[in-house]
Structure 1
């Protein structure tokens, strides 16, 4: 890269030469953000004013960044294959992490004759491994055990029933994933699967050998009946939505091999190193955060769309919904003061399908909705026509970004496109475990950076608790035979009575 290119890049990343903003093999192109050089300068000043580089260091060195729960967020340590020491309450956590790696690899080596793996978990215990297992199914040149990997999250029995109709009981293993080992949906699904095993005439010993757990609460898993050797721990300093790097990612290793899982960790670790050491002006997660922060403050954007032009990444928007909105969907800042802006609403789906859904709104709606376009340079199919299909896919991706940026004037207002709709382009050379890990870590660090910009704590989620508490007495009321007329507001009481008629 020339000196001139580097200078323009530093002053205005929107003018950077394509390919000059890279990390862990990923390329970020901000050319269509529409952010001027003075605006970038103001954003960099904002990052300096809040001490963003210092906050990044705090995150990556075990600082108490989870301010409400007074503990660190050490998920990046889970992917440090160099085993650098990390202290928590005076003890190095790395030996325990390395022991879990060893046990995961050992299980992969003796995982023989399994036709079906049923992974039971919800939220952070589900989104990450589900996304990775589906995405890597399309990745070439990797081992593949060829199991049917099923993910059961919803307490709605329809999801589990569909899985159990296809699974072969005698060669099925079950992985129960719950940080507390008390999550109501997870435990109900687990008990139903045990009943299914019994109905299929499996012995108690066979059932016990079929059950595995990933949890912080080892004692609860043992009390449930999981053998100690089948329990894989993780720790309270791992937030659920950041837990795929722990034993929560075990399905990735079991299906594609432990070396593939290590590549997944390695890609994320490479992004960690970039995040830790790269100046703000070239730091990909920070630039993504600053660009979105700018659109929120300048255009009052309340949502952004993430559009992977790769069918293998169709679950990425769902993963991002939890990452962004559970992390930064807050009404108060770190000091307990009310805020006016926090996480935007996240939506998206795979291109080109998305073009036939909500692109009308993106192009001609009155709202300014920033877009993240994600493309993979290498095709993910062995069909003879794969190159032809992939060229059409990529052409649509590039065309939509150009159309959003420039628009089109017409004497007919109905045919006019306003343009000046901001977007990023994130390019992967290919979709494999390494680059998938880097992509997820990129967005994790963007969420952290946005939390810093809005002075929010991205590592707690108190807003999810109230509904859980209220659900328990309602569930008991639905079981009762008498009409319900007390203990709930009149609207909820009427609804309960309707359901019991």
Structure 2
């Protein structure tokens, strides 16, 4: 699937992260054409505009400046003539001060959904696997689903008198988040916490400070972020507060530093050496050449089992569009994204990846160093890595056999992304690599990667349905409820 003389040219390194595209089956001539496509799409100008604070989110007339949240150099980042870095730096200082202030906390309930949940949850889960990492050992509970089963499980474990609650919502109007927050406040009241204790326990991270105040959050417990930060890009802001509280501000700073280093690479590297751009072009090629409709992200690290879930929102909410920035139908948009930790995934859906009728490209993500200090770690890790490499080879080359059941078609493309180790720095670099790849794909497809209008319609329709579920009378189809939904409501109400 790859000529030996092209293998060296397929290895790209930035921030000590290796990207190996040898199994993409893209010839040097095809790469030249892809880079030409990138230049015709004005990708270089788009990257410069994003970091310069231009209003690249056209539908909402705002920039996408999440990179400023991890700009540890504190070099000025201008938004409409004003440097945003002093406000960002102030939040860093407040986060660090809070880390030094919290004592005797047993439980933290982080309430948020979507972008307010996936990033911090992924980081907390991933860093928990880092051998020897300093941790306060607090129980970090992530409450996202409006299903009270999740709420009940958390409240059964938490100790109300030593619990802190972080309510995370950019708008502070998200239905699931506000309802869950009210339920947790009621739990504190019913646990005989005083009004003063409850006020002391509640924190908010939001762009809507007045709404947080109205909810009852004390001014000093409100941490802002801004409308130029998309929710799925917000873990670098105070949304990532649990990371600093659990693992210390220095680890949170390292998380930002890894992302910042990848940003500088993305901003400054030529397209031919630019990891996010190369990944974006490889996926575009597979769409054009093979008509792929899905791709898988398989981290061969149990610590990154939450990574594909985070990536699903990043890619499909950013680029799952049917019209481009000019309102015209798109030729390509985000494939379906799925994945889970290897080698578990091999015993699940790899049958389809090897012998299914559809070609599904894979990003194999591996870590050089074992993720534990157990005496078995080196031997286990060697087997883990051998499985990762073997799966990529088998997918690329396939196998011929007389029995059709034993035939592997091969020619299944994949990337290998190799981290030196998994710690806060390289976790930040990995997430920023994919964020910048999503932005690059948006530019190549002429899609606005920074709005998400498609998530709103279902929320609007839910309101009249909820009202109908409150009643006990027979529901007829109307302008808001179709005949099928009316029948379902009547079934539920019967």
Alignment partners' CA distance in 2, 1:399 and 1:248? 38
Alignment partners' CA distance in 2, 1:336 and 1:299? 26
Match of 1:372 in 2: 363
Match of 1:196 in 2: 187
Structure 1 segment 74-223 matched on structure 2, within 5 A: 74-223=65-214
Structure 1 segment 352-367 matched on structure 2, within 5 A: 352-367=343-358
Native 8 Å contact 2:286 2:292 kept in 1: yes
Q: Secondary structure at the match of 2:357?
A: coil
Structure 1 segment 277-426 matched on structure 2, within 5 A: 277-426=268-417
Match of 2:489 in 1: 496
Alignment partners' CA distance in 1, 2:151 and 2:387? 37
Q: Secondary structure at the match of 1:351?
A: coil
**TM-score by structure 1 length?**
0.96
- State the Cα RMSD in Å: 1.5
Matched, 1:257 2:248: yes
Residue 481 of structure 1 and its aligned partner are, at CA, apart by 3.0
Out of 223, 228, 246, which is 2:219 matched to?
228
Residue 429 of structure 1 and its aligned partner are, at CA, apart by 0.7
Matched, 1:15 2:12: no
Cα offsets for 1:348-370 (capped at 9, x unmatched): 00001100111011001111110
Alignment partners' CA distance in 2, 1:491 and 1:14? 57
Out of 460, 468, 481, which is 2:459 matched to?
468
Tell me which stretches of 4 or more aligned residues in structure 1 moved more than 3 Å.
Answer: 11-14
Match of 1:4 in 2: none
Q: Secondary structure at the match of 1:259?
A: helix
Which structure 1 segments of 5+ residues have no match? 1-10
Alignment partners' CA distance in 2, 1:23 and 1:219? 42
Alignment partners' CA distance in 2, 1:17 and 1:44? 15
Native 8 Å contact 2:131 2:373 kept in 1: no
Alignment partners' CA distance in 2, 1:296 and 1:421? 13
Alignment partners' CA distance in 2, 1:232 and 1:103? 8
Assess, with a 3 A threshold, how the Cα gap between structure 1 residues 30 and 227 changes in structure 2: closer, same or farther. same
Native 8 Å contact 1:13 1:281 kept in 2: no
Assess, with a 3 A threshold, how the Cα gap between structure 1 residues 14 and 475 changes in structure 2: closer, same or farther. farther
Native 8 Å contact 2:137 2:246 kept in 1: yes
Assess, with a 3 A threshold, how the Cα gap between structure 1 residues 302 and 13 changes in structure 2: closer, same or farther. farther
Alignment partners' CA distance in 2, 1:191 and 1:368? 46
Native 8 Å contact 2:54 2:79 kept in 1: no
Count of equivalent residues: 491
Which structure 2 segments of 5+ residues have no match? none
Cα offsets for 1:134-193 (capped at 9, x unmatched): 000011343211100010100111011111111111111000000000000000100110
